[in-house]
Structure 1
């Protein structure tokens, strides 16, 4: 008896077994995924319902609303930075402050911030929890009580963030780049998980490309398409 038919039969049997194993694996995998999805539907529905403006309204009136420090670091153009600050100050969240780190030259852009937001220098009454590089000055705004500006030399993003954390007054902190815009309800939605009675370490939001976006009002950012090649 020739060995070729035997080897062919063995190979066919092995392929058949492998096919059954692969098909069984994918059936079990997709069944498990479908089961998890179905079991998560009630929680997904609850989370979706809580993002509705009507569901957020009672939260906005709550006295237990956590206080949040919005820390802004990085570098951007003057118009973009002032627009970002105005949208942050106009967030629909009653208990937050905005801490901006100006890490550049002592003149120039800082003068623009002083003129736009009527800043005045305050004593350095800051509890330094994390050592940082030198700070030239601290400023508050006469027009916006929520705004706090730190003027320091450029020593890196991490050092800027540490300086802002030292100056933050509130226990919850949102860190963001100066070139990022937030939707008016973003802070309320980000803080919602902390009010659900479950342990939460951190939250994050969805980031979308904003090339060509511009602020038309303190609480409105219009998305746009860049007019030049990326």
Structure 2
């Protein structure tokens, strides 16, 4: 491929096949094969607008979020994993990475990274939910540990934004169930200081820059971490 001019580095053909080229973060922006940039090197982070009906798993049957990405990326090592999960009936901002240290940094309870969800409810809010969620006194059914304080922003009588710093199983749905309501639609719009981009359709994705990744931690509870 090199000898026939199909590989370029910094816009110059790479014809010396013995040349050793360092694998750096900027290599995909500098090297092309058949006119296309290289795949990202290890350490990439992907923002995906997760559609409804897809699961965040490597093993489940049916449509998986990994099916949206290039097929060859399923063979990457280290493997790409979701940073936390959204259930099958929840849409919105989902992060994926092959950087295990970053994954654990984002999901660690010590980091207090806020996740903000938009919920459409079956019944009107009664006005007491915000104080209860913020109190740190709510215990979910089947659990013994109280939830950390969460912030509720009312949009309309049946729609609200809920920001949580934990990632318990079906937490947002269970919080509203605890106050006698039912979540009909749920979409994650924000993780830390990173928002779902305007105009990004379900199923679309993009690679994050270092600045994007840093913004995740800039709105953590209690300040920058």
- Report the TM range for the smaller structure's normalisation: under 0.3
Q: Which of 1 and 2 has greater Rg?
A: 1
Structure 2 length-normalised TM: 0.23
Structure 1 length-normalised TM: 0.23
Which structure has more helix as a fraction of its residues?
1
